[in-house]
Amino acid sequence: MDKTEKIWLNGKLVDWADAKVHVLAHALNYGTGVFEGIRVYQTPKGPAVFRLKDHVKRLMDGCKMMGFDLVFDGKEYGFDDIMNAIKDVVRANGEGVDYVKPCIFLSGEEVGLNPIGVPVTFSICCVRMGAYLGSASAGAKIITSSWHRPDNLCGPAGAKVNGAYITSTLAKREAVSQGASEALMLNSVGHVAECTGENIFIYRHGKIMTPVPSESILEGITRNSIIQIARDMGYPVEETTISRFELVSADEVWMTGTAAEVVPVVNIDKRDIGTGQPGENTLKIHARFHDIVTGKVPEYDDWLDYVN
């Protein structure tokens, strides 16, 4: 990952090194923040943010769930203000920005859990990330984590709440220390939920399946895009419950996420999936997704917000 020049902080563009908060910030101590991860692609019409409206909506829904007021340095921010702020910081950082991370979090300088009345800070960082999980042609080896995806009763699973990512970091550590690149988490009733920062899909008996949102997953925006793209390509797609047996005996498995995009899974817990190579359907969907995000398919132009 490469740094960029400017970070947007409470309405101002500041130098990367100057975007600082106090060590007693509530979010640092208690995880009280909501964030997004958003991709920027180069298209024939210039840089475009993929599904920006959906990311801003999910960010604002997460803040509503957490009870955060969207007032930063005395100015109230609505949907359009957040959209514009994200586009401004992408523009300010010039060429090569491919990932944006807005974060709205409780700051302040006090000790105590009570979140009410704690000031809210809004930062938007851009980076040059490149591929997050390697190339689609190589595929990924993953493990099943001993950590479970936190249940909807333990927090809002549908929101990207900073503190909830403890589980993802524990699972990721488990995967990487075992030589895998990702970890699958089961939910509290043992069904397949998702990976640390990706949703999961299987292709089995001629049908695509992915866990339904009530399985305590994040409703990924890439997941939603892949469901629509696959249906448009003529595949039957079902949102359902998936067992570990269905996963391992699937013909193909892939992960989807903003950072990871579409990554074939070739091995889970040292068992090959299908032939042990990226699946043919996975690669077709991956190629279609790539054409869509890079502005080559006019029918999906609504999903791109051009920066200039």
261 binds ligand PLP, rule: CB under 6 A: no
Report residue 35 as tokens: 């964030």
Stretch of residues binding ligand PLP (CB under 6 A), selected from 81-89, 136-144, 193-201, 280-288? 193-201
197 binds ligand PLP, rule: CB under 6 A: yes
Nearest-CB residue to ligand PLP?
220
63 binds ligand PLP, rule: CB under 6 A: no
The interaxial angle of helices 52-66 and 221-232, nearest 10 deg, is 140
Please tell me the count of residues contacting ligand PLP according to CB under 6 A. Answer: 15
Least distance in angstroms from the C-beta of 228 to ligand PLP: 13
Question: DSSP characters for 125-145?
Answer: EEEB---SS--TTT-EEEEE-
Contact 217, 239 (CB under 8 A): no
Q: Is 163 helix (H, G, I), strand (E, B) or coil?
A: helix
286 binds ligand PLP, rule: CB under 6 A: no
Which run of H or E residues covers position 253?
strand 252-257
220 binds ligand PLP, rule: CB under 6 A: yes
Between 257 and 274, whose beta carbon lies closer to ligand PLP?
A: 257
The question of whether 64 is a catalytic residue gets the answer no
Least distance in angstroms from the C-beta of 48 to ligand PLP: 16
Which x/- pattern over 145-184 shows residues binding ligand PLP (rule: CB under 6 A)? Answer: ---------------x-------x----------------
* CA 72 vs CA 10, 11, 93, 134, 276: distances in Å: 5, 7, 22, 37, 50
Least distance in angstroms from the C-beta of 218 to ligand PLP: 4
218 binds ligand PLP, rule: CB under 6 A: yes
Between 32 and 222, whose beta carbon lies closer to ligand PLP?
A: 222
In 3D, which of 264, 151, 160, 297 has the Cα closest to residue 221? 160
In 3D, which of 287, 17, 303 has the Cα closest to residue 135? 287
Report residue 234 as tokens: 């003529």
Q: Is 288 helix (H, G, I), strand (E, B) or coil?
A: helix
Binding residue for ligand PLP, selected from 139, 257, 264, 278, defined by CB under 6 A: 257
Catalytic residue among 6, 87, 141, 160: 160
Who contacts 48 (Cβ-Cβ below 8 Å, separation ≥6)?
Answer: 40, 41, 295, 304, 305, 306, 307
Footprint of ligand PLP (CB under 6 A): 37, 160, 168, 194, 197-199, 218, 220-223, 256-258
Could you give the residue numbers annotated as active site? 160
